[in-house]
């Protein structure tokens, strides 16, 4: 008994210490909160992974990860606050090609930058390492600077598909795959040595779309025509001096020189507020609030399982239980007039996707639900979306992929290579149908395929019903092909183009709120503070640790790839330096 009480008291003491430590950290954070001076410049640094929203694990993910991840939500909210904040003179946008934002995220940021500029506030860009994709965002800035030793690459778009079919054959592993249909290319990584003609055609369609929007933006922002863009990409690699001469940048400046040039006469330093500090300013303190609420629910990651979490290999995981719970929470809150569901997912488990789609349909019976697609909302990401009141996508969103892949892995060849033998005992028909030590029989394969097709046809028919697409049209849309948001509007899979800003306007309209009436945005899932995280138990801590491991591996891998491809290895060895 004494051992039990000692253990119990030790646990209580440890909990008290953790709570006191958390309170001390929070107090220190609040106590160190500096005032924002008049004529301050907001500094946004686009570097590293850019998630749509906060990862699971609450503040613990930031503590264990050595700092919080920059999220799209934080960027958009800070820029929208800067529009109305009289203390903010302008925005300093520092960026690097070492970022994880997709085309649609960059497009949303461009929209927020435009709103800052429309408010009469300048947005200055600074890039020490830039590629064509990052330049798509950089070109939106009023002026653009690069340090004299910066890296400037300006090349066309490409995507390399790495296939493991040959590797699996050497290992004696045989995937038996049912892929529906021609353009559903993910399985081809294991079933083909190369991409099918249909898959390549799909990629070319997408590149054509991205290329067109890219060229339109650069001509509007920097006066670079498509002919000139092709000429610059022929040159590909620029010294910073050459980049200025070519019109890609305005001037060569170091970061401190950019700050010095912005100082008022007689001022010793420029007032700069960091992105992290400005994120602590509440929208409601800047009158960005209203009596009515719109819930913004964030659904990001690979779809699978019940609860949102982090897989150290796969990254963010979207659990159907988590999303359904937040939908129900918003529906049952009388102050919530409408729901905006932000979807940033390439898909995953079909059952979980359908369960979330059903919850969306149920929610629509009580309140408008607007889907707001981010970088990708395809396959399962589209399955959870199409039953909403309205669907909005960014022009550069990747969506569609209405198809399906199901597979069984036959390990019999692998087992033979490494000396594994198996034996079975079973009772009842087809008990060993899914066994991994043998391939399907002909009858089993037919049953497996028929069942897969039946599920797919039910999905296809349901899409046709909810999207009011004729049965003569729906078949051509359900080949597993992906579309840009702009294409998806043309083929009725999406209702309108826009990001979160436009989705909130549509949510207002659908719920009878005037466009100029202020509303309060309620972001879900709510981010846990340090105390709530510490009291959240092992699950929250595990998510934070998993996120830290995944994030660290991604960062180091991306750094290594960027470093190896930079062409600057000679710098590490003075003997090799010219």
| Interval 456-485 mean pLDDT | 94
CA distance 154 to 234: 9
Is the pLDDT score of 107 beyond 50?
yes
User: What is the model's pLDDT at position 265?
Assistant: 74
User: What is the model's pLDDT at position 65?
Assistant: 42
Is the pLDDT score of 343 beyond 50?
yes
| Interval 528-553 mean pLDDT | 57
User: What is the model's pLDDT at position 34?
Assistant: 77
Is the pLDDT score of 128 beyond 60?
yes
More confident residue, 28 or 362: 362
CA distance 204 to 464: 26
pLDDT band at 564 (very low <50, low <70, confident <90, very high): very low
User: What is the model's pLDDT at position 527?
Assistant: 79
User: What is the model's pLDDT at position 266?
Assistant: 73
Is the pLDDT score of 55 beyond 80?
yes
Q: 130 near 97, Cβ under 8 Å? A: yes
**pLDDT 10s digits, 413-465:** 999 999 999 999 999 999 999 999 999 999 999 999 999 999 999 999 999 99
| Interval 46-57 mean pLDDT | 87
Strands 404-410 and 174-180: antiparallel
| Interval 157-163 mean pLDDT | 94
Does the domain at 35-155+236-288+537-578 match CATH 3.90.226.10? Answer given as: yes
* Residue 282 φ/ψ, nearest 5 degrees: -80, 135
pLDDT band at 57 (very low <50, low <70, confident <90, very high): low
Burial class of residue 435 in the structure, from the number of CB atoms within 10 Å of its CB (0-12 exposed, 13-18 middle, 19+ buried): middle
pLDDT band at 485 (very low <50, low <70, confident <90, very high): very high
Strands 309-311 and 315-318: antiparallel
Provide the mean pLDDT of the chain.
88
| Interval 127-150 mean pLDDT | 97
pLDDT band at 64 (very low <50, low <70, confident <90, very high): very low
**pLDDT 10s digits, 8-49:** 455 455 444 544 454 444 444 444 567 899 999 999 999 888
**pLDDT 10s digits, 299-341:** 999 999 999 998 877 889 999 999 999 999 999 999 999 999 9
Range 104-113 burial, b when 16+ CB lie within 10 A, else e? bbbbbbbbbb
User: What is the model's pLDDT at position 98?
Assistant: 86
User: What is the model's pLDDT at position 242?
Assistant: 98
pLDDT band at 4 (very low <50, low <70, confident <90, very high): very low
CA distance 112 to 341: 19
Q: 89 near 291, Cβ under 8 Å? A: no
The model's pTM is 0.87
Lowest-pLDDT range of 85-89, 160-164, 570-574: 570-574
What kind of architecture, by CATH, is found in domain 290-402+483-535?
A: Alpha-Beta Complex (3.90)
User: What is the model's pLDDT at position 557?
Assistant: 56
| Interval 278-283 mean pLDDT | 94
More confident residue, 234 or 532: 234
User: What is the model's pLDDT at position 27?
Assistant: 46
**pLDDT 10s digits, 188-209:** 999 999 999 999 999 999 999 9
What long-range pairs does 456-464 form, CB within 8 A, spacing at least 24? 456/180, 456/403, 456/404, 459/350, 459/383, 459/402, 459/404, 460/402, 462/386, 462/387, 463/386, 463/402
How many CB atoms neighbour CB 124 within 10 A?
20
More confident residue, 529 or 149: 149
More confident residue, 12 or 564: 12
Write out the residue limits of the CATH 3.90.226.10 domain(s) in the chain: 35-155+236-288+537-578, 290-402+483-535
User: What is the model's pLDDT at position 222?
Assistant: 97
* Bridge partners of residue 524, in order along the sequence: 297
The percent of residues in the chain predicted with pLDDT above 70, rounded, is 83
| Interval 97-117 mean pLDDT | 95
CA distance 26 to 24: 5
CA distance 550 to 315: 6
């Amino acid at each position: 008994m004494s051992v039990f009480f000692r253990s119990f008291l030790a646990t209580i003491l440890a909990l008290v210490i953790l709570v006191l430590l958390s309170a001390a950290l929070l107090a220190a954070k609040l106590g160190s909160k500096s005032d924002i001076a008049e004529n301050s410049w907001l500094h946004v640094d686009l570097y590293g992974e850019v998630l749509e929203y906060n990862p699971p694990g609450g503040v613990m993910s930031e503590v264990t990860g050595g700092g919080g991840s920059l999220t799209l939500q934080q960027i958009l909210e800070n820029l929208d606050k800067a529009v109305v904040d009289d203390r903010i003179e302008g925005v300093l946008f520092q960026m690097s090609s070492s970022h994880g934002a997709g085309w649609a995220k960059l497009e949303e940021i461009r929209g927020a930058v435009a709103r800052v500029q429309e408010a009469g506030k300048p947005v200055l860009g600074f890039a020490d390492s830039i590629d064509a994709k990052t330049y798509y965002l950089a070109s939106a800035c009023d002026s653009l600077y690069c340090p004299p030793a910066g890296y400037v690459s300006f090349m066309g778009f490409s995507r390399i598909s790495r296939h493991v079919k040959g590797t699996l054959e050497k290992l004696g592993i045989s995937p038996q795959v049912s892929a529906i249909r021609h353009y559903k290319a993910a399985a081809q990584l294991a079933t083909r040595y190369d991409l099918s003609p249909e898959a390549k055609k799909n990629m070319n369609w997408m590149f054509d779309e991205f290329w067109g929007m890219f060229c339109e933006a650069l001509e509007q922002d920097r006066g670079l025509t498509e002919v000139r863009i092709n000429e610059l990409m022929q040159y590909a690699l620029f010294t910073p001096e050459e980049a200025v001469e070519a019109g890609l940048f305005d001037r060569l400046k170091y970061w401190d020189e950019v700050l010095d040039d912005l100082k008022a006469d007689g001022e010793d330093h420029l007032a700069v507020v960091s992105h992290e500090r400005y994120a602590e300013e509440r929208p409601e303190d800047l009158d960005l609030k209203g009596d009515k609420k719109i819930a913004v629910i964030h659904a990001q990651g690979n779809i699978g399982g019940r609860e949102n979490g982090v897989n150290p290999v796969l990254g963010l995981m979207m659990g159907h239980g988590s999303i359904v719970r937040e939908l129900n929470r918003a529906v049952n809150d009388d102050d919530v007039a409408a729901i905006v569901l932000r979807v940033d997912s390439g898909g995953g488990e079909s059952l979980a996707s359908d369960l979330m789609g059903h919850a969306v349909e149920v929610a629509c019976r009580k309140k408008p639900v607007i889907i707001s697609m981010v970088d990708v909302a395809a396959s399962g990401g589209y399955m959870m979306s199409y039953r909403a009141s309205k669907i909005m996508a960014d022009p550069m969103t990747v969506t569609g992929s209405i198809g399906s892949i199901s597979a069984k892995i036959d390990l019999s060849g692998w087992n033979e290579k490494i000396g594994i033998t198996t034996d079975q005992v079973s009772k009842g028909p087809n008990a060993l149908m899914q066994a991994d030590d043998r391939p399907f029989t002909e009858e089993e394969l037919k049953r497996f395929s028929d069942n897969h097709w039946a599920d797919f046809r039910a999905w296809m028919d349901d899409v046709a019903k909810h999207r009011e697409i004729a049965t003569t049209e729906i078949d051509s849309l359900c080949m597993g092909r992906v579309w840009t948001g702009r294409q998806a509007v043309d083929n009725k899979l999406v209702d309108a183009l826009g990001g979160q800003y436009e989705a909130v306007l549509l949510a207002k309209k659908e719920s009878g709120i005037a466009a100029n009436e202020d509303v309060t945005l309620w972001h879900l899932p709510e981010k846990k503070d340090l105390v709530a995280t510490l009291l959240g138990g092992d699950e929250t801590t595990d998510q934070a640790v998993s996120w830290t491991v995944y994030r660290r591996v991604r960062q180091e891998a991306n750094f290594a790839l960027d470093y190896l491809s930079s062409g600057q290895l000679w710098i590490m060895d003075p003997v090799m330096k010219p």
